[in-house]
Amino acid sequence: MDFGLTPELLDLKAQYREWVHGTLDPLCEPMEEEERLPDALVEELRHGKLRFFGLTIPKEYGGEGWAAGKWLPVLEEIARGYAMCRMIAHTMNGLFWRPLYDHGTEEQRRKYLPKLATGEIWAANALTEPEGGTGRDINATTTKDGEYYILSGHKWLITQFPEYTKLFYCFAATEEGMTCFLVDAPDEGLVLEPMKRMMGCRGPRHYNVYYRDLRVHESQILGEKGRGLDIALGMLHLSRVSIAYCGVGTAQRMLDLAVAYAKKRMTFGKLLSTRQAIQSNVAQMATEIEATRLLAAKAAWKFDQGLDMVVDASMAKMFSEQMTMRVAEMALRMHGGVGFTEAYPLERHFRDCRSFHFEEGTEEIQKLLIARSLLK
Ligand SMILES: Cc1cc2nc3c(=O)[nH]c(=O)nc-3n(C[C@H](O)[C@H](O)[C@H](O)COP(=O)(O)OP(=O)(O)OC[C@H]3O[C@@H](n4cnc5c(N)ncnc54)[C@H](O)[C@@H]3O)c2cc1C
């Protein structure tokens, strides 16, 4: 494994960083207050100076075909910016095309992948339920009607964008076990209701998704009937590494903000940055961020080599979410009371980074996976 990034990748990272700070961030303003995706932002994501969609989708389906080792350091730069943008980047490049590619028929791949690659359609994953754990015990059911399945169930906390999300991965039980259905939106049987506003990652709300007699043709089943859990959980491995990198990008941004603040804030006649206690915080934050970056890079490298990286992915994801919270706490303390106000962007990053705990499985679930592998 090579620890250095190539000059080409360093240049790419610099370009994306500039784009995120200079172009995307100013367009995101209405998301925080008005909870909507501005048209200009969507236009920039789809047709902007730098490509945002399809970066990892194979070239034969219209993407760039970037390996994890190229894509994830770029995602780190995107994660320095507005949380909802990094969420779109993470899900659309890291999560939603892969199950189609791995399990879909050629017809299904041709139907969706080129459109996902341009951002013409966006996708969503409707898995989490209010009445069951996020896995084997889901309650959504199906009945059979000729060539159709009729789905019933209730999902919640679903990230989706009403005007743009046109493909839903829907999970429900068939006779064979949990099965994954590809559902085109809108559909009168797919009822979407916004939930209450979230603590962070603001923008369009997250949704309750009801399957109300949702009719799906059997040709829209993804993979084998009864193997939906493998699809749902399988898509999470690399995705956990993606969240780990998002944590690194967000934490690096908070560190940069804290350093900039310490270099200009005077107390008792001296700059904060000259105080040893503050310097100790900075060293601690930087070291934790770098440790997480390396853990995530190793998992990404193993993925690109075709090696088993399930445990590495869980370790990287778990450590990243813990690290991000610690860095957020230290960065807030360094800002003093003003960091607790909306006058400084740290307040938003502090709230946003709480979501890493829930995305792609909580810390408790990562620990279960790691321990299960060690103790088997
Ligand atoms: C910003 C955001 C976006 C999201 N987007 C989506 C989405 O697009 N699609 C989607 O399907 N879901 C989405 N979710 C939901 C997310 O995947 C879940 O919140 C997460 O998987 C945890 O599941 P839960 O909320 O049902 O918690 P629960 O399963 O109710 O767990 C509650 C607590 O108990 C712990 N726990 C649960 N089971 C065990 C166990 N066996 N042993 C030990 N501890 C356990 C959990 O770790 C957690 O701390 C999103 C959530 C957030 C916050």
Q: How is residue 278 written in tokens?
A: 């503050």
Q: Give residue-wise pLDDT tens across range 163-172.
A: 999 999 999 9
Average pLDDT over the chain, rounded to an integer? 96
Q: Name the segment(s) of the chain with CATH classification 1.20.140.10.
A: 232-375
Quick check: 137 pLDDT over 90?
A: no
Q: What residues does CATH 1.10.540.10 cover in the chain?
A: 7-103
Give the pLDDT confidence of 212-257 residue by residue, as tens digits. Answer: 999 999 999 999 999 999 999 888 999 999 999 999 999 999 999 9
With a 6 Å cutoff on the Cβ, whether 130 touches ligand 1 is: no
pLDDT at 29: 86
Residue type, 17: R
Distance 260 CA to ligand 1 centre (A): 35
Give, in words, the CATH class of 232-375: mainly alpha
Tell me the pLDDT tens digit for each residue of 49-63. Answer: 999 999 999 999 999
Ligand 1 centre distance from Cα of residue 363 (Å)? 10
Q: How remote is the C-alpha of 243 from its chain's centroid? A: 6
Place of tokens 């890079």: 297
Measured distance CA(327)–CA(346) in Å, rounded: 11
Ligand 1 pocket member 157 (CB < 6 A): yes
Q: Is 159 in the pocket of ligand 1 (CB under 6 A)?
A: yes
Q: Counting atoms of ligand 1 from 1, which one is nearest the CA of 201? A: 1
Closest Cα to atom 18, ligand 1: which residue? 358
Spacing, Cα 298 to ligand 1 middle (Å): 26
Specify the CATH architecture of the domain 122-228: Beta Barrel (2.40)
Delimiting residues of CATH 2.40.110.10 domain(s) in the chain: 122-228
CATH 2.60.120.10 fits 7-103, yes or no: no
The answer to whether the CB of 246 is under 6 A from ligand 1 is: no
Which residues on adjacent β-strands are paired with residue 155? 209
- What predicted TM-score, i.e. pTM, was given to this entire model? 0.96
